[in-house]
């Protein structure tokens, strides 16, 4: 990490987990320990997503040291989601009103006051994805994301 200019405060080291590899003969434990294995979770938190992608793609240096690596791949989160929520909810409300007006216009009815409003889950998906979940969805494997806010608005009709 140091050779790739990853700052020390960007690295979070988890606790070390270890376990014994025991000998088995014909499916029965002999009580003898053949070896021990240890693992440690390493989390790197950075805002430079291109650098994270590059580091994840080039784990050869670590593998060349004889270190076994298990990775589920990098995870990319939106650190601005909280600040986006109000704007996205306002856009969802505007869209709900437009859809209601369009539907009612088809039957010559008019949109009245708002009766009730509730916010649904946010869907954070990979760009062009159709994944959705009832309780919300948060995709972390891709850098480019689409965020959708849902609202349920009940209007009075005139």
DSSP string, the chain: -GGGT--GGGEEEEEEEEEEEEEEETTEEEEEEEEEEEEEEEEE--S-HHHHHHHHH--HHHHHTT------------TTHHHHHHHHHHHHHHHHHHHHHHHHHTTT--EEEEEEEEEEEEEEEETT-----TT-EE--S-SSEEEEEEEEEEEEE-
Q: What is the pTM of this model?
A: 0.71
The reported pLDDT for the residue numbered 42 is 87
pLDDT per residue over 34-46, tens digit each? 999 999 998 889 9
User: What are the sequence ranges of the domains in the chain?
Assistant: 2-64, 81-157
pLDDT per residue over 143-153, tens digit each? 999 999 999 99
């Amino acid at each position: 990490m140091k050779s790739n200019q990853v700052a020390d405060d960007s690295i979070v080291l988890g606790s070390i987990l270890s376990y014994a590899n025991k000998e088995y003969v014909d499916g029965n434990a002999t009580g003898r320990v053949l070896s021990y294995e240890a693992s440690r979770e390493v989390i790197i938190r950075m805002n430079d997503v291109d650098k994270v992608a590059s580091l994840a793609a080039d784990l050869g240096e670590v593998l060349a040291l004889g270190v076994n690596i298990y990775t589920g791949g990098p995870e990319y989160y939106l650190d601005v989601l909280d600040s986006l929520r109000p704007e996205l909810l306002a856009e969802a409300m505007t869209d709900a009103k437009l859809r209601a007006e369009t539907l009612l216009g088809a039957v010559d009815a008019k949109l009245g006051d708002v009766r009730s409003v509730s916010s649904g889950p946010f869907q954070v998906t990979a760009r062009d994805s159709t994944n959705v979940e009832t309780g919300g969805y948060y995709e972390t494997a891709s850098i480019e994301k689409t965020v959708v806010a849902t609202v349920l608005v009940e209007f009075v009709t005139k």
